[in-house]
């Protein structure tokens, strides 16, 4: 296993120490239980957004904590759900009394633990709502999932809801907006290589030199099919067809096109993927009005990519464009 | 070779087409000769900054074109210098009559071709100055280099000079500033794995599973030494020692700490590297006042990292903080 780490036991702790040293202007890090939260939390008069999930998908979610996005993120061990006590403590620290929205990727452990945390937080008098993201069209059920997996749309939901929260959206308005984003987002990914979980020390799966996995999950869960390696354009078609065929897209729609690296795929390849995906969308009558290209929801050093399409309207566009200042996303 | 490409011959062209589709608000792409330039070029009253080099180091340099950074970037084939006609045509398109600064990484082909382009541009009546970046402390001469190689400080020089150019710095002031940044920046890199140049189709070098290369170049040029894999903290010490020992750092200095992914190393590992590098700097009396963490000057999908330290003063800090709006760097 070739990694820039000291010991598998310290990967998450030392990563968090690095984040704390790097971005004290944006975030603070709480240890035991572990969570990253806005340096200026709690933000008075604002609903607090809390997300989290297994580590290994960086910058998601810790890199999205800051002005205009999340108030807190709870990292679990690599590819392992965080625990309810992390979520509860994070909610307490960032809550300003206006309510807390949990944004949860659809994996069994995450859903269960965020539900438990919501119950505990409500028992302590906080108002909490949870929205589950399940945008992956690749498979209906999966290794860690009942229903579709939550992937790329999570990044977009956190940005858009974060923008809306800054303008004073109420908890129920934010939960509605988050469900709308989830309902309008569709994703699918693929892998050229496996990744290696530090504690395991060997690749999660074997993928021969001439093979690729279409529909891969962000923990290396099996996808739809394993095929001989094809050209970038053919791969993009294999990802875009199921995405565009799934509701809710129809000709004439405005969309955001998000081309994501699984971690080990360099930018030069992502732009080759973007080129075909953009053209594919436009050939299907979709107007690409916004985009995001880079490693945002990764699977350690896995080579591969995922594509997310999000139908956009005026509301989504406004909050996508709103200022954001986090370690991983910054503009406006 | 596992890559998201269509054919080695089309990698750069299709990447550029992707960039053109993705960022029409920020940049335009000129084909044959190939260069990326600011969508609003030429910018009246401003010195134009032009850089370039072999492709395969993305986002450098094309991702740094836009407000507050470069006016144009000329990409060569993968790991191959661009040609003088690219640089000349780019200079013509972005020149507003206030002069053109070429920022050149110290590789023999780049230096020679930018020199030729400067001569051609001056023959056409443009005022041109060139600054060569040679910040890599790993080796004195190298496979493609007389003198030290140009690496991470290039990114910082492009940002800082780009910020200064927006405020009306003259050509000679900008050339002085760029030389100052180069004189104050030091870098060193390491690799866990090789990368594969698309046209070659196999790894540039072999690196056994238990070995790493310290002092690697961004084209896979040999470094200082090949050693058994060590912990992240030990690796950081092996990079930071030569950097800090090299002039111009002294206790009490403010520095910018830049931890860069070679392309295949995920963010979770970069923060573990950052943690140790930040502490190492502070233990040596250096105050880390700014940082940059991510894949900015890469070597295709190579796993590994490089570290750059830049001594900062008020002038450098002001222009580092200045607004920037490019595909790869955005803030303010």
Is the per-residue pLDDT at B145 higher than 80?
A: no
> Does B275 contact A18 at a Cβ distance shorter than 8 Å?
yes
Q: In angstroms, what separates the C-alpha of B120 from chain A's closest C-alpha?
A: 30
For B3, phi then psi, to 5°, come to: -140, 150
Interface of A with B in 204-233 (CB under 8 A): 209, 212, 229, 231-233
Which residues in A81-140 belong to E strands, given as ranges?
100-105, 128-133
Q: Report CB contact under 8 Å: A6, B272.
A: yes
Give the nearest partner residue to B269 out of A3, A21, A325, using CB atoms.
A3
Out of 3.30.428.10, 1.10.10.10, 3.30.1180.20, 3.90.550.10, the CATH code matching A185-317 is: 3.30.1180.20
**How confident is the model at residue B6, as a pLDDT?**
98
Residue B51: strand, helix, or coil: strand
Q: What pLDDT is recorded for position B249? A: 86
Specify whether the CB–CB gap between B30 and B93 falls below 8 A: yes
Please give the pLDDT value at position A139: 86
Mean local confidence (pLDDT), B7-26: 98
In the residue annotation, A57 being an active-site residue is answered as yes
Most B CBs within 10 Å, among A3, A4, A11, A294, to test the B interface: A4
Question: What's residue A145's pLDDT?
Answer: 74
Which residue ranges make up each domain of chain B?
A: 11-183, 185-317
Residue pLDDT, tens place only, B223-254: 899 999 999 999 999 999 999 999 788 999 99
Task: Give the C-alpha separation, B296 to B158, whole Å.
Answer: 12
Q: If DSSP codes are grouped into helix, strand and coil, which group holds residue B47? A: coil
Which residues are bridge partners to B50 per DSSP?
B72, B102
Strands B72-78, B100-105: pairing is unpaired
Distance CA B113, CA B119 (A): 10
Per-window interface: A 258-277 vs B, CB < 8 A:
263-275
**Residue in B closest to A302 by C-alpha:** B264
A-contacting residues in B 168-197 (Cβ below 8 Å): 192-193
pLDDT in tens, B165-199: 999 999 999 999 999 999 999 999 999 999 999 99
- How far is the C-alpha of B55 from the C-alpha of B57, rounded, in Å? 6
- Is the Cβ of B158 closer than 8 Å to some Cβ of chain A? no
A41-56 burial string, b = 16+ CB within 10 Å, else e? bbbeebbbbbbbbbbb
Count of alpha carbons within 13 Å of A116, Cβ hemisphere only? 13
- Does ipTM exceed 0.95? yes
Two structure tokens written together for A261: 């690296």
In this complex, the residue of B4, B11, B263 whose CB is nearest that of residue A273 is B4
A114 contacts: CB under 8 Å, gap ≥ 6: A52, A84, A87, A102, A104, A130
| A17 vs A206: CA distance, rounded Å | 33
Q: Does B283 touch chain A (CB under 8 A)?
A: no
- Say whether residue B15 is in contact with chain A using an 8 A CB cutoff: yes
Contacts of A125 (CB under 8 A, 6+ apart): none
d(CA B171, CA B168): 9
Domain B11-183, architecture per CATH: 3-Layer(aba) Sandwich (3.40)
For chain B, positions 24-43, list CB contacts with chain A under 8 A.
Answer: none
- B141 has a pLDDT exceeding 80: no
Give dist(CA A296, CA A308) in Å, integer: 12
Q: Out of A7, A23, A30, A57, pick the active-site residue.
A: A57
Between chains, do A267 and B11 touch, taking CB under 8 Å as contact?
A: no
Whether residue B13 lies within 8 A of chain A, CB to CB, comes out as: no
**A12: chain B residues, CB-CB within 8 Å:** 268
For residue A106, the model assigns a pLDDT of 96
The residue of chain B nearest to residue A276, with distances taken between CA atoms, is B18
User: Which DSSP string do the residues of B86-128 spell out, in sequence order?
Assistant: HHHHHHHHH--SS-EEEEEES-HHHHHHHHHHHHHHHHTT--E
CA–CA dist A166, B45 (Å, integer): 38
Sort out which chain A residues have CB atoms less than 8 A from B5's CB and list them.
231-232, 269, 272
Task: Please name the member of B2, B193, B275 whose beta carbon is closest to the beta carbon of A21.
Answer: B275
Nearest CA in chain A to B196: A266
CA B117 from centre of chain? 20
With 0-12 CB in 10 A as exposed, 13-18 as middle and 19+ as buried, what is A31? Answer: exposed
pLDDT of residue A140: 82
Rounded to an integer, what distance in angstroms lies between the CA atom of residue B134 and that of residue B145?
10
- Closest among B306, B140, B310, B303 to B224, alpha carbons compared: B140
Q: What is the DSSP string of B237-298?
A: HHHHHHHHHSTT--TT-EEEEEEEE-SSS-HHHHHHHHHHHHHHHHHTT-EEEEEEEE-SS-
Query: Residue A168: what are its φ and ψ, rounded to 5°?
Result: 100, 10
User: From the CA of B222, how many Å to the nearest CA of chain A?
Assistant: 19
CB contact under 8 A, B3 and A269: yes
- Pick left, alpha or beta for residue B220 (phi over 0 → left; psi -120 to 50 → alpha; otherwise beta): left
Chain A contact present for B11, CB below 8 A: yes
Segment B19-24 mean pLDDT: 98
CB contact under 8 A, B266 and A2: no
Secondary structure of chain A: what % helix, strand, coil (to 5)?
35, 25, 40
pTM of the model: 0.98
Residue A81: per-residue pLDDT: 98
Q: What is the pLDDT of residue A161?
A: 99
Q: How far is B44 from chain A (nearest CA, A)?
A: 24
The pLDDT-based confidence of B330 (bands split at 50, 70, 90) is: very high
pLDDT by position in tens, chain A (length 332): 999 999 999 999 999 999 999 999 999 999 999 999 999 999 999 999 999 999 999 999 999 999 999 999 999 999 999 999 999 999 999 999 999 999 999 999 999 999 999 999 999 999 999 999 999 999 887 667 779 999 999 999 999 999 999 999 999 999 999 999 999 999 999 999 999 999 999 999 999 999 999 999 999 988 899 999 999 999 999 999 999 999 788 999 999 999 999 999 999 999 999 999 999 999 999 999 999 999 999 999 999 999 999 999 999 999 999 999 999 999 98
Residue A183: exposure state from Cβ atoms within 10 A (0-12, 13-18, ≥19): middle
- What span, in angstroms and rounded, lies between the C-alpha atoms of A266 and B263? 6
Pairs across A and B, CB distance < 8 A: 175
User: Residue A30's beta-bridge partner residues?
Assistant: A35
Residue B232 neighbours by CB under 8 Å, 6+ apart: A3, A4, A5, A6, A14, B269, B272, B273, B276
In three-state form (DSSP H/G/I as H, E/B as E, the rest C), the secondary structure along B164-226 is HHHCCCCHHHHHHHHHHHHHHEEEEEEECCCCECCCCCCECCCCCCCEEEECCCCCCCCCCEE
Distance CA B40, CA B37 (A): 8
Residue A203 tokens read as: 């690749």
| Angle between helix B171-184 and B153-166 (nearest 10) | 150
* Pair of tokens at residue A310: 């999000």
């Amino acid at each position: 296993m070739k990694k820039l780490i000291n010991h598998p036991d310290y990967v998450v702790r030392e990563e968090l120490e690095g984040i704390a040293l790097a971005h004290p202007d944006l975030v603070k890090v709480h240890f035991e239980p572990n969570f990253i939260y806005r340096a200026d939390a709690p933000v008075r008069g604002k609903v607090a957004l809390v997300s989290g999930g297994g580590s290994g998908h960086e910058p998601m979610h810790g890199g999205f904590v800051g002005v205009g996005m999340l108030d807190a993120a709870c990292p679990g061990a690599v590819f392992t759900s965080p625990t309810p006590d992390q979520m509860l403590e994070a909610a307490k620290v960032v809550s300003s009394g206006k309510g807390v929205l949990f944004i949860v990727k659809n994996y069994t452990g995450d859903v269960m633990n965020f539900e438990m945390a919501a119950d505990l937080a409500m028992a302590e008098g906080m108002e909490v709502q949870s929205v589950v993201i399940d945008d992956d069209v690749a498979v209906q059920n999966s290794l860690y999932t009942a229903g579709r997996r939550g992937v790329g749309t999570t990044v977009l939901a956190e940005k858009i809801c974060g923008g809306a929260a800054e303008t004073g959206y109420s908890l129920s308005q934010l939960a509605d907006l988050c469900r709308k984003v989830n309902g309008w987002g569709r994703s699918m990914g693929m892998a050229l290589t496996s990744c290696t979980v530090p504690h395991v020390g060997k690749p999660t799966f074997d993928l021969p030199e001439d093979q690729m996995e279409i529909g891969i999950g962000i923990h290396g869960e099996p996808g739809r099919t394993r095929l001989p390696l094809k050209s970038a354009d053919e791969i993009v078609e294999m990802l875009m067809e199921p995405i565009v065929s799934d509701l809710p897209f129809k000709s004439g729609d405005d969309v955001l096109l998000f081309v994501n690296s699984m971690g080990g795929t360099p930018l030069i390849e992502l732009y080759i993927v973007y080129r075909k995906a953009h053209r594919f969308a436009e050939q299907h009558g979709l107007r690409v009005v916004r985009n995001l290209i880079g490693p945002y929801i990764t699977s350690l050093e896995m080579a591969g990519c995922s594509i997310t399409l999000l139908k956009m309207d005026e509301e989504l566009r406004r909050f996508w464009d709103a200022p954001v200042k986090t370690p991983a996303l910054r503009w406006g």
